[in-house]
Amino acid sequence: MSQALLFVYGSLRPGFDGEMARWLASVARFECAALASGVLYRVDYYPGFVPGPDGIVTGELFRLPNAEAMLSVLDEHEECTAHFPQPHEFRRERIKVRSAAGLTDAWTYVFARDVTGLERIASGDFLA
């Protein structure tokens, strides 16, 4: 897994002024805009993505030159490593995403908790 793609849809996206978004932009290569099937929910100052057929989520693809090390840092940020208490809020998962280059597989962070009571982001674009 020396190189892999990462689909970002929220606080890791370019245009979100956060420390981890800046870190990702400095260590990974931006590939292109992309879309994924699913729904976004406002969790706090960040969204949660739930894959599924009921919507389209806007995001970007990054190529991770040292995927294992970079995903380890991101797993820690998303608090989905073994030392964080269960149930984790997010889990890392491979999904299909569509870009101008076609359909491809990418890692992303999926919201892993109940969405009852959370506001759906109807546009599917957290930065809109």
Mean pLDDT over the full length of the chain: 95
Nearest Cα residue to 35 out of 108, 96, 122, 98: 98
For residue 127, tell me if it sits in a domain: no
Q: Strands, DSSP E only, in 1-128? A: 4-8, 29-42, 47-64, 90-99, 102-111, 119-120
Question: What domain count does the chain have?
Answer: 1
Please write the tens of the pLDDT for every residue from 76-116. 999 999 999 999 999 999 999 999 989 999 999 999 999 99
For residue 125, tell me if it sits in a domain: no
What are the C-alpha distances in Å from 56 to residues 17, 61, 69, 123, 124? 23, 15, 29, 8, 6
Q: 3: pLDDT confidence band, cut at 50, 70 and 90?
A: confident
For residue 128, tell me if it sits in a domain: no
Burial of 59 (0-12, 13-18, 19+ CB in 10 A): buried
For residue 32, tell me if it sits in a domain: yes
pLDDT of residue 39: 98
Range of the domain at 58: 4-120
CATH number of the domain where residue 32 is located? 3.10.490.10
